Structure 1
Amino acid sequence: MKKIGIAIMALCISTLSFAENNLYYNILEFQESVSINVPNDTMHITLNMETQHKNRQTASQITTQKLNQVYEKLKKNKKFTVELGNRSVYPQYDDKQKNIISWRDSVSLHVNSKEFEDLSNLISDVSAQATLERVWFSLSTDKRNQAVDKASEQVLDTLRQRADFLSRKLGFSSYQLVKVNMNSHFSGGNMYANDVAEMYAVRQSAPVAAAAPRMKVSSDMSGEQSISQTANVIVQMK
């Protein structure tokens, strides 16, 4: 039984070696690439609640109160995704940097949603409790995967057309795929909308009586990402 096992193993190794060394003729290698632009579909904001008071405990209590008020407004919309950010407490010193004159307590919240208008309204609704630190936009996982699928389909169609064309031009009637290597590349990344944050900051600093209608963030402000799909292909002409 042991001799048979050894013989079978030797045969397998010999067969694999032959397959690996098998020569391919009429081989053609080429590359195709397709790029599509996809608008960012998710809006992110960072809100900051801050209090300065001579008493440390009082500063923390007021900041916590602001945080709870913002949370209550956030709970009204199930399409918001909320994440608690950093909280810090640090002293404020006098001009000589010796004596503590007050304490500053701050906490941040990160909120995102695909509903740009709802998130725009939230910024205005919580302006009494929080300030807007920054705004940025990104592509959701579902939207990104859909874009990759679309780019893959397009690049494979282009690949097939190119292979058909080349086989005819080279005098062959058909071809078979030997190897296809697909690679995706994303450019654009998350778009930080500093101008949007600045516009909100100006509005929040203005007197309430003179406040203009609420500013809406539209999809035009979200930017876009470019998704490139590249196919490196090896074909054998027949």
Structure 2
Amino acid sequence: MSVPKKTFATLAAAIALCATSLGALAEAPRYNQVSLHAEVSQEVAHDLMNVTLYSEAQATDPARLAGETTETLNAAIAEARKVKGITVSLGSRNSYPVYDEKGQKITGWRERAELRLESSDFAALSRLTADLQSKLKLGNMSFSIADATRKKSEDALMKGAVDAFKARAQLLSDSLGGKGYKMVSLSVNSADAPRPVPVVRMSMAKADSYGGAPAPQIEAGTSQVTISADGTIEVQMP
């Protein structure tokens, strides 16, 4: 016995309607959901010092200028590598023409090359920086938190951030008269807020202790490492 095509069409429509209803039920809005934010912070001392030194000179012969710049850098690198605990790397290097007053004729060439130094031994890098300034100019001195130190601080703060989130969630649930809450979502993120650039003061009294230029007294400063917890809870009402 054959079933009319109209019956098949009606049955298919009924199944589709049922599936749509079940889907709508599954996607029905969930009530009593609240978004929360909590964070914990800690001041962490900078333990990494970064120094950028540079050579800058001008000459009419670009090849000779490049050679002299390379010699200056090589001499500085050789001196820096003698100091233990110093990471040495080359920064940017560029050369560009110098024009006459009318801007039409090249009268010379100017070249600038950087040498970057990094160390957790502030005293050693400070002395080396002072010594190298007989060959190079000081471009920048900055301080930061080493990766290992940052990770250790973040790991220590992570549990505190989650505990702070749970405490706020429980407080909110109690305030709304709930019997508890369910965690819907939670994300934990890290951030740090650098402090103003620390002061670098020159100490003339120590200049003769190692036969070089005055070494700067370092005030490295701190950064605030912060772990935040953001998420959504669903308050369970009686």
Task: Please indicate the TM-score interval, normalised by the length of the shorter structure.
Answer: 0.5 to 0.7
Q: Is structure 2 residue 90 aligned with structure 1 residue 83?
A: yes
Q: Which residue, 158, 162, 168 being the options, matches 2:164?
A: 158
**Aligned-pair CA distance for 1:126:** 1.3
Change (3 A) 1:130 1:100: same
- Shift of the 21–73 alpha-carbon distance from structure 1 to 2, 3 Å rule, reads same
Decide whether aligned partners of structure 1 residues 51 and 78 sit closer, same or farther in structure 2, where only a CA change above 3 A counts: same
Name the TM-score, length of structure 2 as normaliser: 0.68
Cα distance in 2 for residues equivalent to 1:62 and 1:21: 74
Match of 1:46 among 52, 69, 80: 52
3-state SS of 1:215 partner:
strand
- The AA in structure 1 aligned to 2:234 is V
Q: 1:149 to 1:13 in 2, by over 3 A?
A: farther
Structure 2 residue ranges without an equivalent (≥5): 1-11
Deviations 1:208-231 (A, max 9, x none): xx97753342xx334424535142
2:8 maps to which residue? none
Return the TM-score normalized by structure 1: 0.68
Looking at structure 2, the residues matched to 174 and 57 of structure 1 have their Cα atoms a distance apart, in angstroms, of 76
Deviations 1:30-64 (A, max 9, x none): 33233333333322211112344565444333222
Question: Deviations for 1:151-177, whole angstroms, at most 9, x for unmatched residues?
Answer: 432221112223334444555443322
- Aligned residue pairs total 221
Instruction: Compare CA radii of gyration and give the structure with the larger one.
Output: 2
Equivalent pair of 2:85/2:121 in contact (CA under 8 Å): no
* Alpha-carbon separation, structure 1, partners of 2:46 and 2:20: 53
CA 102–23 in structure 1, closer or farther in 2 if over 3 Å, else same: closer
Q: What 5-or-longer segments of structure 1 have no aligned partner? A: 1-5
* Partner residue in 2 for 1:3: none
- Cα distance change of structure 1 residues 60 and 139 upon mapping to structure 2, 3 Å threshold: same
1:87–1:108 contact (8 Å) kept in structure 2: no
Counterpart AA for 2:236:
M
- 1:32-71 to 2 correspondences below 5 Å: 32-53=38-59, 55-71=61-77
Quote the Cα distance in structure 2 between the aligned partners of 1:65 and 1:91: 22
CA gap 1:137/1:22 in 2 versus in 1, 3 angstroms: same
Residues 186-205 of structure 1: matches in 2 within 5 Å? Answer: 186-188=192-194, 192=197, 196=200
| Paired residues of 1:27 and 1:237 also in contact (CA < 8 A) | no
Q: Deviations over 1:82-128 (max 9, x none)?
A: 233223254475x8888877654431122222332222122022122
Identity percentage of aligned residues: 25
Residue 83 of structure 1 aligns to a residue in which SS? strand
Alignment match, 1:137: 143
Q: Distance in 1 between matches of 2:162 and 2:174?
A: 18
Question: Aligned pair in 2 of structure 1 residues 139, 12: CA closer, same or farther (>3 Å)?
Answer: farther
Cα RMSD for the two superposed structures: 4.2
